[in-house]
Amino acid sequence: MRFPAEPFRIKVVEKIRRTTRDEREQLLERAGLNVFMIPSDAIYVDLLTDSGTGAMSDQQWAGLMIGDESYAGSKSFFKFEAAVRDVTGFPYVTPTHQGRVAENLLFSTICAAGKTIIANTHFDTTRANVEMNNAEALDLPVKEAYDPQLGKLWKGNMDLEKLEANLKANRDNIPLVVMTVTNNSAGGQPVSMENIRGASRLCKQFGVPFFIDCARFAENCWFIHEFEAGYKGKTIIEIARELFSHADGCWMSAKKDALVNIGGFIAMNDIELARRLPQKLILIEGFPTYGGLAGRDLEAVAIGLYEGMEPEYLQYRTAQVRYLGDMLWDAGIAIVRPVGGHAVFIDAKAFCDHISPEQFPGVALTVALYREAGIRGVEIGSLMFGHLDPATGKHVAPHLELVRLAIPRRVYTTAHMTYVAESITEMYKDRHKIKPLRLTYEAPVLRHFTARLEEII
């Protein structure tokens, strides 16, 4: 079977609207060709992100009703804390309203000028939080991660030789090493347990804390279950517990694998560090038993964490993403291979091989996707990660120019995926009509959210 039927039936529906090409053309102009600026009711299939866009289950909605909204000591917090402890094993749990707040709390506490945070690949908010605190964010992915079409497993892994060399040379200036599972910025590729074990061993040897950015840990554990020797007979929660047992702590944007629309946490073994974080939390988010969330949100996370690990769900979830990827690949469109856990990444350098990196081939493709088919994807390339070299004034491009089609969880059906694949296949025939772009406005940090661009005619 190419695609297993959804392991749920649909109880509530939300209308989506087809717009005309003219309408989309006008909206693009108003948006400065930035799809972040398009109102969502003018989008037919929204694949901008899988973050906070999932559909909650009837159990989670029922959980909202019993949310305890007490300011301090809410029983929903204790349920949330128990769930996080049960899955991760870390005793000190701090809720945050989303992942980047956990990053802010952590990095504003441990970073300073001259310090380096090492990751397999930092996600953009992770990198920004490190850099805003004057430290360096160093990515050490395996070299296979830079070869988008190489269909090898575990391309999310960290290069352990480079990790060891960096730890040897600079141990005192490395306050933390983080493994992002799955590796979102490198194509949503999974990390093997072997690699996690290896990174953990090195960090222990050099006395450096090792954390997991576990936004998509359940999808990562599913890949371990399916493809890593010795894990077929284990349950997802057993694999997750082993994964976390190799680390000193983790943070999570619960908006992904915990199947909620808002929520996150940071959890760890170190009581000293755990005591320092809430000082800022109280200042910017709220009391440490709600961390910027409502009690009902904590309930939804506590339930969603377990639903996100159900094997029927994970099998359907990864198969749906692979179904879209396979349709594109079969039509001759270059995508990052193998297909990762939450998204299909189109190789925009190959799709728009007539557009150079400084003319934003990935953004140009997102514009075309919206204009032609009302589909919203996101660029992960020169706009998100490129910059100008201050010395030469030349554009420094990242290794990959990608467009991510992130699939919201339990939201779109297979027919929607077929629509997306067929629309892109149609566009591919006329791909050389896609125009290069130039920036007309950029903000100093995370510029891709608010940038404005125009077509170079």
Residues in the chain: 457
Annotated catalytic residue 256 = yes
Does residue 267 have an active-site annotation? no
CA dist., res. 89 & res. 91, Å (int) = 6
Q: Exactly one of 102, 119, 215, 294 is catalytic; which is it?
A: 215
Question: Does the annotation mark 71 as catalytic?
Answer: yes
User: Which residue among 44, 123, 211, 290 is the active-site one?
Assistant: 123
Query: Is 290 part of the annotated catalytic residue set?
Result: no
DSSP class of 37: G
401 sits near ligand F0G (criterion: CB under 6 A): no
Handedness of CA 244, 271, 201, 114 (dihedral sign): positive
Place of tokens 């769930």: 83
213 binds ligand F0G (CB under 6 A): yes
Q: Which of 91, 92, 93, 77 is nearest to 299 (CA)?
A: 77
Residue 437, token pair as written in the block: 């772009």
Question: Does 53 participate in binding ligand F0G (rule CB under 6 A)?
Answer: no
Stretch that binds ligand F0G, among 16-24, 70-78, 94-102, 295-303 (CB under 6 A): 94-102
Pseudo-torsion of CA 440, 443, 448, 454, nearest 10°? -10
**Peptide linkage before 338 cis (omega within 30 of 0):** yes
Does residue 180 touch ligand F0G according to CB under 6 A?
yes
From the CB of 207, what's the least distance to ligand F0G, in Å? Answer: 25
Subset of 253-272 contacting ligand F0G (CB under 6 A): 253, 255, 264
DSSP 20: P
Clarify whether 428 is annotated catalytic. Answer: no
* 215 classed as catalytic: yes
User: Is residue 210 helix, strand or coil?
Assistant: strand
Element (H, E) at 162: helix 160-170
Q: How far is the CB of 125 from ligand F0G (least distance, A)?
A: 4
Q: How far is the CB of 457 from ligand F0G (least distance, A)?
A: 31
Whose Cβ is closer to ligand F0G: residue 98's or residue 320's? 98
Residue 148 · residue 89 · CB < 8 Å: no
**Closest CB to ligand F0G among residues 76, 98:** 98
- Closer residue to ligand F0G, CB minimum distance, 178 or 193: 178
CA-CA-CA-CA dihedral for 158, 159, 160, 165, to nearest 10: -130
Q: CA 195 to CA 179: how far, in whole Å?
A: 10
196 binds ligand F0G (CB under 6 A): no
Q: Of the residues 3, 36, 42, 124, which is catalytic?
A: 124
- Of 99 and 398, the one with the shorter C-beta distance to ligand F0G is 99
Q: How far is the CB of 99 from ligand F0G (least distance, A)?
A: 3
Q: Which long-range contacts (CB under 8 A, 24 or more apart) does 225-233 make?
A: 225/311, 227/153, 227/190, 228/192, 228/193, 228/194, 231/193
Least distance from ligand F0G to the Cβ atom of residue 436, Å: 25
Site size toward ligand F0G, by CB under 6 A: 15
Q: 123 catalytic, yes or no? A: yes
Q: What spatial distance separates the first Cα and last Cα of the chain, rounded to whole Å?
A: 46
Q: Which is nearer to ligand F0G, 108 or 125 (CB)?
A: 125
Site string for ligand F0G, 97-136 (x = CB under 6 A): -xxx----------------------x-xx----------
Single out the catalytic residue among 46, 213, 248, 347: 213
Return the residue of 27, 31, 49, 403 that touches ligand F0G, per CB under 6 A.
49
CB 117 within 8 A of CB 175: yes
What is the Cα–Cα distance from 349 to 400, expressed in whole angstroms? 8
Catalytic residue numbers, as ranges = 71, 123-124, 213, 215, 256, 448
Which positions lie near ligand F0G, rule CB under 6 A?
49, 51, 98-100, 123, 125-126, 180, 184, 213, 215, 253, 255, 264
